[in-house]
């Protein structure tokens, strides 16, 4: 299948990665599905032939795996990269600073990058967060707010459907000129509007300071 587009999700076991994998296969595409536990996709492997679905074990914490993508994968081939970076890359949440700091894009080589900035979608990843009882000494620590926020996400079964988001991502991946930023979900859109509005208002306050800065004789 030389002309078939291939999806290469780095995390196809749950959430958006799993939804995209299923959608691409349903539409006749090919998927090189990578994840830490290949057995999770056993049911899909039984449904699709190897020329449509290849499941490989991959741990992005391993430097050799990242080095292969950078040095062995031919740069001239190019492709389309959808980089996950939730809306907190635009508008941070005060109790999840450690998470906010990781949600920004990165450069790519001969690859069109789109930064996916979704709302709080409910995926299985929330149930995989390890949670243990906190020590009494930390009862009043700032971390309590972070723990409460994570707990609320785990218990909240309502929210946008990641499978519907995957359909939007699929359409996005086929656009000839994709956007750099792609926000999806009502809360993500509203957060971006507030952030941009605040930025423009602040810039407008000091716009009058810029004229007249040219060199003078």
Contact (CB, 8 A) for 216 and 113: no
Backbone region of residue 175 per phi and psi (left: phi > 0; alpha: psi in -120 to 50; beta: other values)? beta
Tokens of 72: 């062995």
Classify burial at 166, counting beta carbons within 10 Å of its beta carbon; exposed 0-12, middle 13-18, buried 19 or more.
buried
Sign of the C-alpha dihedral, residues 71, 73, 79, 81? negative
**What confidence tier does 83 reach under pLDDT thresholds 50, 70, 90?**
confident
| Mean pLDDT score of the chain | 79
What's the average model confidence in pLDDT over 114-138?
A: 72
Identify the weakest region by mean pLDDT among 37-51, 95-109, 110-124, 177-191: 95-109
Q: What is the pLDDT of residue 52?
A: 95
Q: What is the pLDDT of residue 51?
A: 92
Q: Which domains does the chain show, CATH number per domain? A: 6-200 (3.40.50.720)
- Continuous segment of H or E residues that includes residue 51: none
What's the average model confidence in pLDDT over 160-169?
A: 88
Q: Which residue has the higher pLDDT, 113 or 157?
A: 113
* Cα(116)–Cα(84) distance, integer angstroms: 5
Q: What is the pLDDT of residue 152?
A: 66
Tokens of 180: 């750099």
């Amino acid at each position: 299948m030389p002309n078939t587009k291939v999806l290469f999700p780095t995390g196809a076991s749950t959430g958006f990665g799993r939804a995209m994998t299923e959608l691409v296969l349903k539409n006749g595409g090919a998927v090189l599905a990578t994840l830490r536990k290949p057995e999770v996709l056993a049911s899909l492997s039984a449904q699709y032939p190897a020329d449509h679905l290849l499941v490989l074990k991959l741990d992005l914490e391993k430097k050799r795996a990242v080095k292969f993508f950078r040095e062995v994968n031919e740069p001239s081939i190019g492709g389309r990269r959808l980089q996950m970076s939730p809306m907190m890359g635009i508008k941070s949440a005060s109790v999840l600073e450690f998470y906010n700091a990781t949600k920004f894009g990165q450069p790519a080589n001969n690859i069109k990058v789109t930064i996916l900035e979704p709302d709080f979608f409910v995926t299985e990843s929330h149930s995989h967060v390890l949670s243990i009882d906190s020590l009494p000494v930390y009862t009043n620590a700032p971390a309590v707010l972070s723990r409460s926020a994570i707990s609320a996400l785990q218990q909240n079964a309502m929210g946008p459907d990641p499978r519907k988001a995957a359909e939007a991502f699929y359409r996005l991946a086929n656009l000839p000129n994709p956007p750099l930023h792609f926000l999806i979900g009502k809360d993500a859109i509203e957060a971006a509007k507030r952030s941009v509005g605040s930025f423009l208002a602040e810039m407008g306050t000091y716009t009058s300071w810029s004229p007249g800065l040219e060199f003078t004789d």
